[in-house]
Amino acid sequence: MIETEKDSGVKFLDLEIMGSKLYVSTDEDFHYSILIYDLKDFGNGSPKPKVSVMVPEASTPYVSRIVDSHRHDSGYAYGCLAKHESLEQLFLIYIMCNVIYKPEHVDSWSPEFVTSPEITAVEVFKLDMNKEPLQWIKCLSLDDNVIFVSGITSMVMSRAALNSTDQELIRENSVYFALSFQCPSDPWQGVRLGVKHLTDSSVKYFSVRKSNHSKVPYPFWFVPSI
C-alpha cells in the first residue's frame, strides 16, 4: 500500500503506472507536483517517492469575481494524468472551464455548480524523461494521437489503433472528454460529453439523453479487450 505521510497535508489526485514506476499527482496546500515511486521497492515495505516533479502551470489565466451572489470563475482547471497506450510516455492534460457556483463552496474540494461548466480550452504536456531533472514539454499538436479524458480513467492512443473508419467520429489531434460535475439544481446538466479539436480550437458537445428512471451517469472511457 502507498499512502501519504500522516498529517502531511498531501492529497493524492490521480495516478498512472508505467513499467515499474508509479506516477502520482498530488496537492499540498494548492502546490501541485508529481511523485514517482519505484514499485520494485514494495518488498522493503511501503516505498518512498524517489523523484518529485512540479506540475506546470496552465497558460490560461484564472480569474474569479462575484456576480449576483454567485462566484464566476474563468480558467478553472480540471487536470488529469494519462499514459500513451503503446509508448512509454506520460501526459498531463488540463481541461479549462468557465464555472459558476455559490461563494460558500469556494473552499470546497468538490464545488456544486449552478450551471453546466463551459469547456473553453485544453492544454497538454508531456513528461520528457530523457532530461535531468525531468521536464514537462507543452504539446502544441498531438499529431495522429487522440486523448480520452474522464474522471475515472484517461488514455492517449494513436488514431490508427482505433478500429473506426469514421474520420469525423474520432479525429486525430483531438481531446475527447467525458466529465461529470455536481449541479444539484439539475444533476444532468453536470454531464459534459464532447471533444476539443486542437487543429482548429473548436469545442463540440455531444447530446446526453436524460432519463427519469436511472441515476445520472458518471461517464468514463474504456478499451474493449476483444
CB 190 within 8 A of CB 216: yes
Sign of the CA dihedral running 112, 106, 177, 196: positive
Q: What is the b/e burial string over 106-126, where b = at least 16 CB atoms within 10 angstroms of the residue's CB?
A: eeeeebebbbbbebbbbbbbb
Residue 48: is its pLDDT beyond 90? no
* 161-217: pLDDT as tens digits: 877 666 667 888 999 999 988 888 788 888 899 999 998 888 999 988 877 777 777
Q: Which residue is listed with cell 475515472?
A: 152
> Among 161, 162, 147, which Cα is nearest to 79's?
147
CA atoms within 13 Å, Cβ hemisphere of 65: 5
| Three cell numbers written together for 218 | 458518471
| Rounded-to-integer distance, Cα 152 and Cα 80, Å | 10
* 55-106: pLDDT as tens digits: 898 888 889 898 888 889 998 888 899 999 788 899 999 999 999 988 775 5
- pLDDT score at 86: 81
> Among 193, 213, 186, which Cα is nearest to 151's?
193
Residue 104's SS3 state is helix
- 226 — pLDDT class (breaks 50, 70, 90): very low
Residue 123's SS3 state is strand
Sign of the CA dihedral running 7, 10, 13, 16: negative
9 vs 217, residue with greater confidence: 217
Q: Which residue is listed with cell 515511486?
A: 37
The full set of domain ranges for the chain reads 1-55, 60-226
| Rounded-to-integer distance, Cα 209 and Cα 212, Å | 10
